[in-house]
């Protein structure tokens, strides 16, 4: 079976659904600290999912799982992912994201499991020296979150050299949208991301939506990002899994649409999709936000045959429907 760590989380749960669609047996390992048991319940309705609660920071938890099940490969999402929090609580990020992954890798070596797909991030690049960003761009993360992921990338390369453990590292740009059928979605507490924050403001949460800075060196003064749909991203994991099975070598791929959208453009698209005016105000810049980030994803397109096709409007529409569902839980 395929072990998906962090399968109760945002990107992890969409990837579980993608594998279930093709009738894979999936084992989800999650500590439910940021993931949700309700998500597991939805996943169970969609196919053959086994859930094991555990924490990568306790090597016994993960070792127990490898003892109990026959695991063929690992797709590893479990991590903390708030950039701002990582600056004030770096130990939390290094302990969970880096040391937790080290526990996972050691357990894999012990049980002779030799392939892993890893959820990395464009935050490993740091302040861009050029855009679009390709995989050769220097990696100089500017926050502990990015650094905790970059360390894992390096550890994985060393584990390939030492133990023949093959890894595909996927560096995501900005992930957006939710399952088209509305089963799972973006459910962060607290929420810091652009699209859910715009949508929450429609429901009166956080009241007026704030644009963090409109004095950047961009055409409309707001930051530009590359918003890749979460279902397209989940599909990239399936393609990476199949690619690794065939190629049996370690690689790294950027995952983005190669299109940049400014905060104002995303906001306008939300008003259009919802067909309503949304209250907005301009606030000061958020520390650590680069002006422009978007991907060169040629490598994923040519090697993995990945073709991200869902539009920003689709991401907003599905995110809105999921937000409506979350509001009903309140």
- Residues with a catalytic annotation lie at 145
DSSP string, 1-48: -EEEETTTSHHHHHHHHHHHHTT--EEEEE--SSS-HHHHHHHHHHS-
Residue whose beta carbon is closest to ligand UFG: 223
Q: Counting contacts by CB under 6 A, is residue 169 touching ligand UFG?
A: no
Binding residue for ligand UFG, selected from 117, 211, 255, 295, defined by CB under 6 A: 211
- Count of residues in contact with ligand UFG, rule CB under 6 A: 20
Instruction: From 25-33, 41-49, 116-124, 153-161, give the range in contact with ligand UFG by CB under 6 A.
Output: 116-124
d(CA 283, CA 50): 45
Least Å distance between CB 262 and ligand UFG? 9
Nearer to ligand UFG, 179 or 186 (CB): 186
d(CA 301, CA 154): 24
Measured in residues, the chain has a length of 330
Binding residue for ligand UFG, selected from 48, 131, 197, 259, defined by CB under 6 A: 197
Instruction: From 204-212, 230-238, 253-261, 297-305, give the range in contact with ligand UFG by CB under 6 A.
Output: 204-212
Instruction: From 71-79, 102-110, 188-196, 296-304, give the range in contact with ligand UFG by CB under 6 A.
Output: 188-196
Binding residue for ligand UFG, selected from 114, 169, 171, 225, defined by CB under 6 A: 225
Binding mask 20-59 for ligand UFG (x = CB under 6 A): ----------------------------------------
Nearer to ligand UFG, 10 or 19 (CB): 10
Q: Quick one: tokens of 288?
A: 């650590």
Q: Counting contacts by CB under 6 A, is residue 202 touching ligand UFG?
A: no
- 2 near 75, Cβ under 8 Å? yes
Looking at residue 284, what DSSP letter applies?
A: P
Neighbouring CB atoms inside 10 A of 67's CB total 10
User: Long-range pairs for 58-67 at CB < 8 Å and ≥24 separation?
Assistant: 58/103, 59/103, 59/106, 59/107, 62/29, 62/103, 62/104, 62/107, 63/107, 63/110, 65/3, 65/27, 65/29, 66/107, 66/108, 66/110, 66/111, 66/113, 67/111
- 227 near 294, Cβ under 8 Å? no
Q: Counting contacts by CB under 6 A, is residue 286 touching ligand UFG?
A: yes
Binding residue for ligand UFG, selected from 26, 83, 117, 151, defined by CB under 6 A: 83
Least Å distance between CB 305 and ligand UFG? 25
Count the helix, strand and coil residues of the chain and give each as a percent rounded to the nearest 5.
45, 20, 40
d(CA 219, CA 168): 35
Instruction: From 25-33, 48-56, 155-163, 206-214, give the range in contact with ligand UFG by CB under 6 A.
Output: 206-214
Least Å distance between CB 149 and ligand UFG? 8
Which residues, numbered 144-163, are part of the site for ligand UFG (CB under 6 A)?
145
Binding residue for ligand UFG, selected from 104, 116, 123, 255, defined by CB under 6 A: 123
Neighbouring CB atoms inside 10 A of 93's CB total 25
Task: For residue 254, give the 3-state DSSP assignment.
Answer: strand
Binding residue for ligand UFG, selected from 121, 229, 235, 250, defined by CB under 6 A: 121
Per the DSSP assignment, residues forming a β-bridge with 253 are 170
Q: Counting contacts by CB under 6 A, is residue 271 touching ligand UFG?
A: no
Looking at residue 123, what DSSP letter applies?
A: G
Q: Give contact residues for ligand UFG (rule: CB under 6 A).
A: 81, 83, 121-123, 145, 174, 192-194, 197, 210-212, 223, 225, 263, 286, 289, 293
């Amino acid at each position: 079976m395929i072990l998906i760590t962090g399968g109760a989380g945002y990107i992890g749960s969409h990837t579980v659904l993608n594998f279930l669609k093709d009738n894979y047996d999936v084992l989800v390992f999650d500590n439910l600290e940021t993931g949700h048991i309700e998500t597991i319940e939805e996943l169970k309705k969609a196919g053959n999912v086994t859930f094991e609660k555990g924490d990568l920071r306790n090597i016994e938890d993960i070792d127990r799982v490898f003892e109990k099940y026959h695991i063929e490969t690992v797709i590893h999402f479990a991590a903390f992912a708030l950039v701002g929090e990582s600056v004030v609580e770096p130990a939390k990020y290094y302990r969970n994201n880096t040391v937790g992954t080290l526990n996972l890798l050691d357990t894999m070596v012990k049980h002779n499991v030799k392939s892993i797909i890893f959820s990395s991030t464009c935050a490993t690049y740091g302040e861009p020296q050029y855009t679009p960003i390709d995989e050769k761009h220097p990696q100089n993360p500017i926050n502990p979150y990015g650094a905790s992921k970059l360390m894992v990338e390096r550890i994985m390369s060393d584990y390939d050299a030492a133990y023949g453990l093959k890894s595909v590292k996927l560096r995501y740009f900005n992930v957006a949208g939710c399952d088209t059928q509305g089963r799972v979605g973006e459910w962060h507490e607290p929420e810091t991301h652009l699209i859910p924050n715009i949508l929450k403001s429609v429901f009166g949460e956080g009241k007026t939506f704030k644009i963090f800075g409109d004095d950047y060196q961009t055409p409309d003064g707001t930051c530009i990002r590359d918003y890749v749909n979460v279902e397209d991203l989940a599909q990239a994991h399936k393609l990476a899994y199949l690619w690794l099975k065939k190629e049996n070598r370690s690689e790294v791929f950027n995952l983005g649409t190669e299109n940049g959208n400014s905060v104002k453009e995303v906001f306008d698209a939300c008003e259009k999709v919802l067909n309503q005016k949304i209250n907005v105000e301009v606030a000061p810049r958020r520390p650590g936000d680069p002006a422009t980030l978007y991907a060169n994803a040629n490598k994923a397109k040519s090697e993995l045959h990945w073709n991200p096709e869902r539009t920003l409007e689709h991401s907003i529409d599905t995110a809105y429907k999921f937000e409506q569902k979350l509001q009903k839980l309140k």
